[in-house]
Amino acid sequence: MEEIRTRFAPSPTGPLHMGSVRTALFNYLFARNNGGKFYLRIEDTDKERSLPKWEKDILSSLQWLGLSWDEKTVRQSDRISLYEKQLQLLLEQKKAYHCFCTREELDAQHQSLVSNGEAPRYLGTCRALSQEEQQEKIQRGEKSVIRFIVEEKRLHFHDLIRGKVEFNTALMGDIVIAKDLQTPLYNFVVVVDDHDMDITHVVRGEDHIPNTPKQILIQEALGCKPVLYAHLPLILAEDRTKLSKRHGDNSVTRFRKEGYLPEAILNFLALLGWNPGTDREIFSLEELVKEFSLERIQKGGAMFNIQRLNWVNSSYIRQMSTPNLAKACFPHLREAGLVSDDIQNMEIVEKAVSLYKERLQKLSDISDLADFFFLKKLTYQKEILFWKEASQDETLYSLQKSFELLSSLPESSWNEEVLGDLMLKEAEKEKNRGYLLWPLRVALTGKKASAGPFEVASALGKELTLQRIQEAVDMLQQGGEGE
């Protein structure tokens, strides 16, 4: 059986997009599931837009995600001589020619066709030029492009996802495949590359379907072995249009910075357009490799739902050990200015993480949720200390009562269970538990919403707990807000 060989071929013209990652993932899964090879090819022939920083972003993002490729990275910019050789071959065989039509002439031609209800296409004006006439024009310095002669016929191919796809090539006209011998264009170089790399399967987005007949025709002209195609459904934004830059930053870098885990991103993307055949929703990369098949890819577009990604990510976060989660959260706390690199131990970070592990959707959430752990003094409006209609005097009394009760509790008994028993027994004496417990929780965290007061007090320890209650008391007695 022939070895399956797939490739991911991004252009380094911007940050790696989540839609591109799904394409890479599906190529990776298909190749690995079949014991084949997965290659990375950087399509950098666009000299003006291709930048080293974007190639670096592609490489680092794929490595972070764990999508390893076989052999060395292929770069089109290193293969110009190969493309030139193949272009010369097509020109010599009269399967391509130099076209000297100006932009104005092409626009007029297209407008005429459209006005007559015909498909806009190039009508082959320069096709009749002999090779000698073409060379004379080139020598005179006339600008040209290289066009491929499109044979008019009904062309069809079998898409591994969509079945039979058919085109009438008469509607295409002769296509431009290079600006000159040193500047080949996409539809040409991709054919040369796939043939040279022995690619067997091209798995890519459905927006490439219009390119497929052009590439098949070029394959035939060059005598290349045909490849099999599988066109993936588009990833859609919430407005049901193709996910794009206008929907915001959907780069891998953005999600990585915000604290999404690579395993969660891959898990989430795998289920965008692919159905595992069960209700199961959490898969490791190894499990995806084992389960994946092209037959289970759907034809319809798949919605990019950030809430869904958050759920998947939170599921992976809850599976992490507290020490490992603390290490993963540390850079986000440092970025927020809450901790520094010279911190001697992770104990306080682990306490914060342990308290909020069940609430984290992404790692960066820890900074807003648990900042009170790392602040010397909290800042908040005194009004949020008040439980519903409670007055300032009632709130002050409540905080003083909490301080009195907690002061009497020995540190050896300072844990969530004992704290809960002690404070709930007192809270039952009030007309509502909130009168005692709400001000206590706010005094400890400075927040309207947070973990429960017993959890927080247990994590903060007796000394800091009493200190913060006293600071809240002082604020109410003096007026104003926390510093």
pLDDT tens for 322-370 read: 999 999 999 999 999 999 876 667 888 999 999 999 999 999 999 999 9
Q: Indicate whether 162 and 117 sit together in one domain.
A: yes
Amino acid letter, residue 253:
T
SS3 helix, strand, coil % of the chain, rounded to 5?
Answer: 50, 15, 35
Asked whether residue 140 is assigned to any structural domain, the reply reads yes
Q: Indicate whether 177 and 86 sit together in one domain.
A: yes
Q: Indicate whether 91 and 178 sit together in one domain.
A: yes
Asked whether residue 356 is assigned to any structural domain, the reply reads yes
Residue with tokens 């599921």: 315
Q: What is the dihedral of CA 178, 183, 187, 188, to 10 degrees?
A: 80
CATH number of residue 458's parent domain: 1.10.10.350
Q: Is the pTM of this model over 0.85?
A: yes
- Rounded CA separation 445/369 (Å): 9
User: Could you give the maximum distance between any two Cα atoms of the chain, in Å?
Assistant: 104
Report the mean per-residue pLDDT for the chain: 94
- Residue 245 annotated to the active site: yes
Asked whether residue 268 is assigned to any structural domain, the reply reads yes
Q: Indicate whether 310 and 326 sit together in one domain.
A: no
Q: Indicate whether 124 and 106 sit together in one domain.
A: yes
- Catalytic residue, from 85, 153, 225, 245: name it: 245
Q: What is the dihedral of CA 441, 444, 447, 452, to 10 degrees?
A: -40
Other beta carbons within 10 angstroms of residue 216's beta carbon come to 20
Asked whether residue 346 is assigned to any structural domain, the reply reads yes
- Rounded CA separation 26/314 (Å): 23
Asked whether residue 38 is assigned to any structural domain, the reply reads no
CATH number of residue 155's parent domain: 3.90.800.10
Q: What's the pLDDT tens digit per position in 2-52?
A: 899 999 999 999 999 999 999 999 999 999 999 999 999 999 998 889 999
Q: Indicate whether 175 and 85 sit together in one domain.
A: yes
**Domains contained in the chain, number:** 4
Q: Indicate whether 165 and 98 sit together in one domain.
A: yes
At 215, the pLDDT band (50, 70, 90 cuts) reads very high
Q: Indicate whether 304 and 403 sit together in one domain.
A: no
Q: Is 87 helix (H, G, I), strand (E, B) or coil?
A: helix
Q: Which residues pair with 122 in a beta bridge?
A: 173
- Rounded CA separation 23/31 (Å): 12
Q: Which residues contact 38 (CB under 8 A, 6 or more apart)?
A: 5, 6, 7, 8, 27, 28, 31, 32, 67, 68, 69, 70
At 237, the pLDDT band (50, 70, 90 cuts) reads confident
Q: Indicate whether 84 and 178 sit together in one domain.
A: yes
At 74, the pLDDT band (50, 70, 90 cuts) reads very high
Residue with tokens 């014991």: 35
What is the extent of the structural domain holding 143? 75-187
Q: Indicate whether 463 and 400 sit together in one domain.
A: yes
CATH number of residue 337's parent domain: 1.10.8.70
Give the pairing of strands 235-236 and 37-42. Answer: unpaired
Asked whether residue 234 is assigned to any structural domain, the reply reads no
- Rounded CA separation 87/89 (Å): 5
